[in-house]
Amino acid sequence: MSQSRLLYGAHVRANGIRQHYLRFGGKGPALVLVPGITSPAVTWAFVAERLAQDFDTYVLDVRGRGLSETVPGMDYGMESCAADVAALAQALGLQDYILLGHSMGARIGALAAARPDCAASRLVMVDPPVSGPGRRPYPAALPWYVDSIRLMREGQPWERLREFSPTWTQEQLQLRGEWLHTCDEDAVVQAFHSFQSDDFHAVLPGIRVPAQLVVAGRGGVIQADDEAELRALVSGLVVTRVENAGHMIPWDDYDGFFAALREFLPMAG
């Protein structure tokens, strides 16, 4: 077994809350990875291990997930999450870092990149929800998230998750089962509803850094007309498709995911 590139996990107080992150590699340009709606940082460790060959990689536990702060009444809106990212990077002294987000994390990344206090130099949006007011709804259903969280919070066996993610490996399901209970239900519900209530497209023209959109060919989240609209809204947007992957792209096509990133990021072959 190869040696892990995980350096440590740590906490930092930024934007008024305690934020937890995992750091991998420690060499090369800094990269901040923002996971999706029910993905604590540790579930992206297998991606971070590969990124750490080229980047000083930080994987964030978004507020309300993993080991980051969760308190009753917390604002789990996307604007607050974007402010968290900018503040975390500032607290860690990161400059000209790459901001990579998946799904909800891609929407957070776009909001963060459009902020005047964000020091990111590049943005990668991986299959962000393109739902919003007056648009078609996000294809996933809220009970898919909530029901699986409740099962794991009850201490049900991880095998129960196979009905939610039938194509995942045993190892993937075990890890998800171990950490899913750390996803606060209120945080997930707020985020899910924000996919429809927030005008994501209004944010995109404010992105002033080079940006890439990575699309899951079998995800059903982003369609051809969405790609065209996003190209028109984000100047110079690089669009790369991973044809044989569903929404959880690196789980479905690990090599295809990194081939897509290499079209935009300075990575070794």
Mean pLDDT of the chain, nearest integer: 97
Asked if pLDDT for residue 82 goes beyond 70, the answer is yes
**What's the whole-number mean pLDDT along residues 121-127?**
98
Query: Residue 196 has which token pair?
Result: 């429809």
**What is the spatial distance between Cα 10 and Cα 136, in angstroms, rounded to a whole number?**
39
Q: What pLDDT was estimated at residue 240?
A: 98
**What is the spatial distance between Cα 194 and Cα 104, in angstroms, rounded to a whole number?**
10
Beta-bridged to residue 9, according to DSSP, are 22
Asked if pLDDT for residue 119 goes beyond 80, the answer is yes
pLDDT tens per residue, range 201-236:
999 999 999 999 999 999 999 999 999 999 999 999
Q: What percentage of the chain carries pLDDT values higher than 90?
A: 98
Q: What pLDDT was estimated at residue 1?
A: 52
pLDDT tens per residue, range 3-58:
999 999 999 999 999 999 999 999 999 999 999 999 999 999 999 999 999 999 99
**What is the spatial distance between Cα 138 and Cα 44, in angstroms, rounded to a whole number?**
22
Q: Which among 261, 207, 217 is positioned nearest to 243, based on CA atoms?
A: 217
**What's the whole-number mean pLDDT along residues 166-187?**
97
Spell out the domain ranges in the chain: 6-134+198-262
Question: Between 3.30.499.10, 3.40.50.1820, 3.40.1360.10, 3.40.50.10480, what CATH number should domain 6-134+198-262 receive?
Answer: 3.40.50.1820
pLDDT band for 2, please (50, 70, 90 cuts): confident
